[in-house]
Amino acid sequence: MKGPLFYSKILLFGEYGIIKDSKGLSIPYNFFKGALKMDDNTSEKAQQSNMALSGFSEYLDKLTKEQPELVSFNVKELKEDIAKGMYFDSSIPQGYGVGSSGALVAAIYDKYANDKITVLENLTRKKLLKLKTIFGNMESFFHGKSSGLDPLNSYLSLPILINSKDNIESTSIPTQNAKGKGAVFLLDSGSTGETAPMVQLFMEQMKSEGFRNMLKNQFIKHTDACVEDFVNGNVKSLFGNLKQLSNVVLNNFKPMIPAKFHELWKQGIDSNEYYLKLCGSGGGGYILGFTEDLAKAKKALKDYKLEVVYNF
């Protein structure tokens, strides 16, 4: 058995902000993917995945009993398959902010949910919100608290525009310009980051009125503007807002940026050769970069591995 493929995702804009109702934009990233498998693989990775699925199945059993009106799973079949050695075979790096648990959640829902909402039906806003709620409940097994966006993106394989907590829609983004000089890229920080402690830290900071004001008047303002610009293809305006956003993040989210990148972050803002921002919750994993001139950015970041995600 080999299940369908589920892809990683990149939250281009909205990390932390969407917890407090900012706009957000999430896109599928087909470079990494995963699928449920049942074969004779006895590698340590497969065994670890199988054990994790066992714990997850108990959690889903509980979820089915506690919220049957939201979602129910064929837990019997799921547990039988896990007993036969099923595991999630994935190339998505864990702790890198590209949705490793999201792809797994999407794969399990796709195979074991009863009366599932499928990608083929007319996805009304109501259905999208229901899916997001289901996925949020499922993924909280891994993170403590989840918006459900990563699995939603992975399940639909479509860009998702978050207008607010209760208003999401699948969207189209401008077609890539393969010959364009500008790009969105991933920068490997060389270490993994854990979501739960970073979100906890953010929640602690939210207790301060100064931080809440900064979030509303600066961070969310620039995030919303970036989303609008990106979706509408306003590249010039986008880079103006990106510079502001990158600056706000450097000044107010320092603990989420690996220390060795503080200087690099500032260099980008000062030189205008690239702008960096968090990819997911930060703390490690990937850092997102935006540049109007990829050749210049590559030169400035020659000591790092850049992975191009989108060309302007």
Find, among 164, 174, 311, 288, the residue nearest to 231 by Cα: 174
Within this chain, domains 6-170 and 183-311 share the same CATH topology: no
* Backbone angles phi and psi of 170, in degrees to 5: -75, 145
Q: pLDDT band at residue 1, thresholds of 50, 70 and 90?
A: low
Tens-place pLDDT, residues 142-186 = 877 788 888 999 999 989 999 987 889 989 898 888 888 999 999
- 162: helix, strand or coil: strand
Question: Whose CA is closest to 137, among 235, 85, 64?
Answer: 64
Q: Is CATH 3.30.230 the classification given to domain 6-170?
A: yes
116 pLDDT band (50/70/90 cuts)?
A: very high
User: Of 125, 110, 187, which is closest to residue 160 (Cα–Cα)?
Assistant: 125
Q: What tens digit of pLDDT does each residue of 53-112 get?
A: 999 999 999 999 999 999 999 999 999 999 999 999 999 988 888 888 999 999 999 999
- In the DSSP assignment, the letter for residue 124 is -
Query: Which amino acid is present at 241?
Result: N
The per-residue pLDDT of the chain, averaged, comes to 92
Q: Which one, of 142, 132, 146, lies nearest residue 59 by Cα?
A: 142
Q: Are strands 160-164 and 167-170 parallel, antiparallel or unpaired?
A: antiparallel
Q: How many CB atoms lie within 10 A of CB 303?
A: 6
What band does 139 get if pLDDT is binned at 50, 70 and 90? very high
Domain ranges, ordered by start, for the chain: 6-170, 183-311
CATH number of 183-311: 3.30.70.890
Quick check: 276 pLDDT over 70? yes
Alpha helices in 91-144 (DSSP H): 100-112, 125-143
Contact 53, 83 (CB under 8 A): no
Q: How far apart are CA 36 and CA 265, in angstroms?
A: 38
